Amino acid sequence: MNSPKIFAVGLGLKTTNTKGETLEVYYHKAFVRSQNNSELVDDFVRLCSENIGYPGGNTTLSVNDYTLENLLEIFAKHEGTSSFLKGSENAHNRIVITILETNSTAQNVEEVYLKLSLLSHRAVKPHEQNLDGIFGILPNIAWTNEGAIDLEELPARQLQARAEGRVLSVSSVDKFPKMTDYVVPSGVRIADTARVRLGAYIGKGTTIMHEGFVNFNAGTLGVSMIEGRISAGVVVGDGSDLGGGCSTMGTLSGGNDIIISVGEKCLIGANGGTGIPLGDRCTVEAGLYITAGTKVLMLDTEGGIYGQQKARDLAGKDDLLFRRDSESGQVVCLTNEKPIKLNHELHNNN
């Protein structure tokens, strides 16, 4: 087979319900084929092809003893580590290999979780994968202190726990788990881990405070302060600050098909927000939400009005300051002369 075509591979441990249906997969190892790990992926796929009949395409396979032992040798060769579920027969029966030959639409839970894991492992960046249709594949699950549980099986599990003198705590009912139950990226601080979903991409140096939220296929590319909401599909550039309670309009909001992004060294003030892509060094003042249809008065360097535009016409442009005129209440835009600087000590999260 032509292994260079392989997009991604993963070695994981799945959870199933009593019907044998997969609820979620924890991918201990997940890689895309890149310059840094192409040989690892080639060895991984070659072993699966020769020993467990990998037929090509996007596939999830079970693992036999021989294959697992040899996979661990591959990881030891390329990464210097080979620890994976040694001495656990029960877990061994749930080990899966997922191979994505192409970055096409996911067909099952195993493929979706690999793609989400690749994002949170920083193996790919937001919008580099095909995530179409994943909501229809992912089951709605009770996320508990004992792991993922099928909602139909939850009452029986709760009763069993009580009978055994335990309390089964349900932290959420959702299609997505929190990221930190699967991966904690290096160099980050997350004050409330329940507010960051698996599939978030969190750049090294980012601090996410208690009210900060990051959805899947979204996140920060570098050092950022997040006290607001990064909605699905939104990417925030290095050095930017999202103030308390602010928001960004996601690609899932109101049929919006525009990819919203925030450039480098931007500031969205407390309770403000944007529904247009912002270029670098832009500021939206506190309490102001910019949408594509917002009418904006354009001011020159002397404060004089020289025209009016809709905010969509300013999308992606650098060095803009959006604020409301204190007398008229109209939204105005002028050159931003004071780009923000984050406190480097605050974001040294080693």
Catalytic residues: 227
Q: Concatenated DSSP letters for 71-120?
A: HHHHHHHHHS---SSTT-HHHHTTEEEEEESS-----SHHHHHHHHHHHH
Best CA proximity match to 296, nearest among 317, 271, 280: 317
- Name residue 36's amino acid: N
Best CA proximity match to 105, nearest among 80, 133, 77: 133
Q: How many residues does the chain have?
A: 350
Q: Which helix (H) or strand (E) holds 248?
A: strand 247-248
DSSP letter assigned to residue 6: -
Give exposure, 98-114, as e/b (b: 16+ Cβ within 10 Å).
Answer: bbbbebeebeebbbbbb
Strands of 267-338 (E only): list them.
267-268, 273-274, 283-284, 289-290, 295-299, 305-310, 320-324, 331-335
Strand order in 170-174's β-sheet?
147-150, 141-144, 170-174
Cα angle: 274, vertex 229, 26; to 5 degrees: 135
Strand order in 289-290's β-sheet?
213-214, 229-230, 247-248, 273-274, 289-290
**Would you state the structure tokens that stand for residue 162, as one six-digit string?**
């009580």
For helices 38-51 and 65-79, the axis angle rounded to 10 degrees is 170
Rounded CA-CA distance 122/183 in Å is 10
